[in-house]
Chains A and B, each alone.
Chain A
Amino acid sequence: MAKRSSSEAVAWLLFSAGGVVSALLAPILLLLFGVIFPLGVLAPPEHAHMEAVLRHPLTQVVLLGLCVLSLLHWAHRFRYALHEGLQLKRLRAPINLLCYGGAIAGSLWAAVVVFG
């Protein structure tokens, strides 16, 4: 009989967490920095103020968390899209490497950008 899979459980938990935080935070950030500030609906914050907010450890942790979890959400979804959508099950190992490796690489990059 098949064995209980804890790696799938962890992958799914991170996928769900990524779905929730990206659905909650990404639209707000996009709306603020992609529409509202550029169009001048609200006055954008001073550069120095923005800088101070971005240097705050709490902001950094939240931003990094958003990036990491969203990437893991993507990895899970893309893995299934390739496995089943494109019927590439026999390439399981390289696909897993591509998806989760990509998510880890992206996370490292996000860390460099956020903390750099």
Chain B
Amino acid sequence: MPDTITLQVTRYRPDADGPPTLQEYVVPLREEWAVLDGLNYIKDQLDGTLSFRWSCRMGICGSCGMTVNGDPALTCGTFLTDYAPGPVRVEPLANFPVIRDLVVEIDDFMRKLPEVKPWLVREDGEALDDVEFLQTPAEMDEYKQYSMCINCMLCYAACPVYGLEPDFLGPAAIALAQRYNLDSRDQGAHQRLDVLATAEGIWACTYVGECTTACPKGVDPAGAIQRYKLTAATRTLRSFLMPWRAR
């Protein structure tokens, strides 16, 4: 194994520079080093002006997502040795505006997320603080997978529909809506239906499936969307057949 590897890193300052350029840095190649360790080496030893986001270094915070050799990845969970002898291209996540270097702006997602009410909605007026809602392990398994989402945005970077159609609600927001729809304590499913069953919601999805391939937490947003399409379509049929029961 060689003892160094070259990183080709996107440099970009929208206010000062021209178009983004790739800058090469040679960093040590160590067995236990992730791409993020390489970037931190650059920042500490070679070039303090490089900007990127990270926090936990263990696949929990969701802030270190970048495009590594063309694929969206968590840089703290992607190892340099897998790319030896290199070079490794590190670029910002696709489909998002770039603030600087490897830092993207995710305001679009932050605006969309609250629309699907990703919290427990109760309609019976019980004060949530005073009651204990019991749940069996089987009931928890219904939504647990979707609760693993860390908002890392890899699925949005991977989704070709989101790239073409920025109004698309997107994989993680829909999976998070299902996270609450499928929770036995929640009563907000029909409120979410109005946001999800729209042309910009689930119906924009053409089941490409790249979101599920990209997701580092096994959330399977594509499956969540597909499953919800059936729910929404059955609801629609029911409101045709029994209009008096439609909400």
Contacts and interface: CB of A to CB of B under 8 A. Distances in A.
A87 B163 CA distance: 12
Nearest to B236: A9
Given A6-B236, A13-B237, A84-B164, A1 B203 contact: no
Contacts of B164: 84, 87
B140 interface: no
Contacts of A2: 195, 198-201
A88 to B, nearest CB: 11
Contacts of A84: 160-161, 164-165, 206
B197 A1 contact: no
B231 to A, nearest CB: 10
Contacts of A4: 193-194, 197-198, 236
Contacts of A3: 198
B217 interface: no
B199 A8 contact: yes
Nearest to B115: A1
Interface string B217-247: 0000000000001101101110110000000
A5 B233 contact: no
Interface in A1-38: 1-6, 8-10, 12-13, 16
A80 interface: yes
Contacts of A13: 233, 237
A13 B194 CA distance: 18
Interface string B184-199: 0000000001110111
Contacts of B197: 4-5, 8-9
A75 to B, nearest CB: 14
Contacts of A9: 197, 203, 232-233, 235-237
Nearest to A81: B206
Contacts of A1: 115, 194-195
A10 B194 contact: no
Contacts of A87: 164
Nearest to B235: A9
Contacts of B160: 84
A80 B206 contact: yes
Interface in A68-103: 80, 84, 87
Contacts of B239: 6
B70 to A, nearest CB: 20
B206 A5 contact: no
| Residue of A10, A13, A87 most packed against chain B (CB within 10 A) | A13
Given A3-B198, A4-B193, A4-B197, A12 B206 contact: no
A12 B237 CA distance: 12
A103 B173 CA distance: 34
Closest 7 CB pairs of A and B: A8-B203, A9-B236, A2-B198, A9-B233, A13-B233, A6-B236, A4-B197
Given A5-B203, A9-B235, A84-B165, 7 more contacts: A2-B201, A4-B197, A6-B240, A9-B232, A80-B206, A84-B160, A84-B161
13 contacts: A2-B199, A4-B194, A5-B197, A6-B239, A6-B240, A9-B233, A10-B233, A12-B229, A12-B233, A13-B237, A16-B233, A84-B161, A84-B165
